[in-house]
Amino acid sequence: MVKEVISYLSLFSGIGAFEKALKRLEIPYELIGYSEIDKYASKAYSLIHNVPETMNYGDITKINEKELPEGIDLITYGFPCQDISIAGSQKGLLNDDGTKTRSGLFFDALRIIEHTQPKVAIAENVKNLASKKFSKQFSIVLDSLEEAGYNNYWKILNAKDYEIPQNRERIIIVSIRKDLDSNAFTFPEPVELQSILLDVLEDEVDEKYYVDPSKVKALIPQLEKKEISNTIRASGGGVPTDTSGI
């Protein structure tokens, strides 16, 4: 049986984890393009997935959704988590002045989804998005997608429950266009983990991956200086408490 080739747009692509999943599931797809602002991640994406970097739309805020092709089947978007994560600034989707935070780039993904109307859109983010602290922001995300014409299914999944030896929890939001949704979607059931981290780590690592000891020695004072500076700013210390750079 020949599987249908789906048309696919990748946003906040990184090195293409969603794409790797599609390949492992043997789901054939035609890449419309990907959006990644980091030049190193873009280079890695291009090499890993054997596509030219000219397919990179770059900065998502500069993508003209009206120039994107029609009939997109799937859009994936792991929008930035820095302003939602426990380890981040926790500003949410918007700054105090109403401008978008880095996590607020969700609205750019939404803008593209609203216009292109893909059959399915899948988002990934840290589980803290579904916490009590961010209940208002999470409601904005779900309500915005519903208003765009989608039924939404979400769940916090852990990588260790799906054959990956890593305790890594992430929220997944699957949005299915209402005119296509049969209300039959369910998340996959957990499977028993058969491996441990030692099973996937290499016994020997090539020396080219080691950092030069002299560079480490030079870097330590810089890190110590930055840590002291960040501690002073976080505690007040008579100086501005802007911790946006931490």
In tens, the pLDDT along 75-128 reads: 999 987 877 777 666 787 777 778 787 787 899 999 999 999 999 999 999 898
Averaged over 167-179, what is the pLDDT?
95
CATH superfamily of 6-200: Vaccinia Virus protein VP39 (3.40.50.150)
DSSP 19: H
Residue ranges per structural domain of the chain: 6-200, 202-246
Tokens 């110590």 appear where? 224
Query: What token pair was written down for 211?
Result: 């950092």
115 is catalytic: no
Whose CA is closest to 109, among 207, 170, 193, 175?
A: 175
Mean pLDDT over each residue of the chain, to the nearest integer: 86
Of 9, 60, 81, 105, which residue is the catalytic one? 81
In tens, the pLDDT along 178-202 reads: 999 999 999 999 999 888 888 888 8
Averaging pLDDT over each range in 41-55, 101-115, 205-219, which range is the top one?
Answer: 41-55
- Lowest-pLDDT range of 114-123, 133-142, 146-155, 200-209: 200-209
